[in-house]
Amino acid sequence: MSQVAFLFPGQGAQHVGMGVKIAEAYPAAKALFDQASDILGYNLLELCANGPEEKLNATNISQPALYVSSLASLELVKDRQPELLEQCQIAAGLSLGEYTALAFAGALSFEDGLRVVKARGEAMQAAAEATPSGMVSILLLDEEKITGLCEQVSDAGLLQIANYLCPGNIVVSGDKAACEKVVPLAEENGGRPIPLKVAGAFHTPIMQSATEKLAAALESVEIQPSRLPVVSNVDAQPHHDAAEIRDILVKQVVHPVLWEKSMRTLLDSGVDHFCEIGPGAVLKGLMKRISRKTPFDNFNDDAV
């Protein structure tokens, strides 16, 4: 029997139209969107269906939208390949996706998870608005070279590695001026810099003000020991314990995302089949750079 891992996408995977086909095809998925709308105070499915794109891309909107759309995509798995649910041994999610993974694993109820994600998105949006900042994906350069580039622009402000995604794909995050200054430097050193359309410098100390609001939101909900382990972005290790999960989720906001290391943890544990549950195919693209031959399936609107 295959050792299956479910992976859940993070911010950046959102797009206008996500979740619509699945909600139309599966009443249980539509019910999640309806329940979410009651909690959020706006029609989430209508926003996912029609946008506008700039509103859907806002941190306080995109995070709840991805959380709900991804959990709704599980209905497609139940219908098409229910055996994968039985074979799934472990889960992980990229940044925001870690909350989706924890809800899937039973550590958080759907409702409580959504309330925390709503608070997280709002707190991160506020922190971003307080400090002009951003993120830049740098392709084709290694960690050592990118660390050196961050040091070279330190006179312009904070800049540090925020996401270790896969070989040749590292994201830096920091003050806006430093982000702007690193782009030509990366090009001069043979890299391909891509400024990201995000509100601010996620996974850096610039998000520190968001941690208090997030910690309060996490304290207000019940977290259960998960029924299967969820690999954390913070330490790339699997976790079951409720207290550990609560602590790690607060740290995650200001800590780099160790995605490549997390995927290698899964591979080393014996995982031989990955499933990306939710909008887009970002995680599949990253896995191709980490372990090209490992089977990988996507469950999203395109598969309906």
CA-closest candidate to residue 8, choices 133, 122, 93: 93
Angle between helix 110-130 and helix 59-80 axes, rounded to 10 deg = 150
Domain 132-195: CATH superfamily, name plus number: Malonyl-CoA ACP transacylase, ACP-binding (3.30.70.250)
Query: Which burial class, exposed, middle or buried, applies to 205 when counting CB atoms under 10 A from its CB (0-12, 13-18, 19+)?
Result: middle
How many whole angstroms separate alpha carbon 166 and alpha carbon 279? 20
Is 255 a catalytic site residue? no
Confidence band for 16, pLDDT divided at 50, 70 and 90:
very high
Q: What is the pLDDT of residues 240-277, one digit of tens each?
A: 999 999 999 999 999 999 999 999 999 999 999 999 99
Query: What is residue 219's predicted lDDT score, i.e. its pLDDT?
Result: 96
Q: What are phi and psi of 74, to 5 degrees?
A: -65, -25
How many whole angstroms separate alpha carbon 21 and alpha carbon 34? 15
Q: Taking the domains of the chain in order of start, what are their residue ranges?
A: 4-128+205-303, 132-195
Which pTM does this prediction carry?
Answer: 0.97
Query: What is residue 95's predicted lDDT score, i.e. its pLDDT?
Result: 97
How many whole angstroms separate alpha carbon 235 and alpha carbon 252? 9
> Does 132-195 match 4-128+205-303 at the fold level?
no
Query: What is residue 135's predicted lDDT score, i.e. its pLDDT?
Result: 96
What's the average model confidence in pLDDT over 90-117? 98
Query: Is the sign of the CA dihedral 111, 88, 101, 25 positive or negative?
Result: negative
Q: Identify the active-site residue in 70, 133, 173, 203.
A: 203
Is 239 a catalytic site residue? no
Tokens representing residue 186 in the block = 């990366």
Q: Which CATH architecture has domain 4-128+205-303?
A: 3-Layer(aba) Sandwich (3.40)
Q: What is the pLDDT of residues 163-219, one digit of tens each?
A: 999 999 999 999 999 999 999 999 999 999 999 988 899 999 999 999 999 999 999
Q: What is the pLDDT of residues 140-149, one digit of tens each?
A: 999 999 999 9
Q: Identify the active-site residue in 62, 70, 95, 232.
A: 95
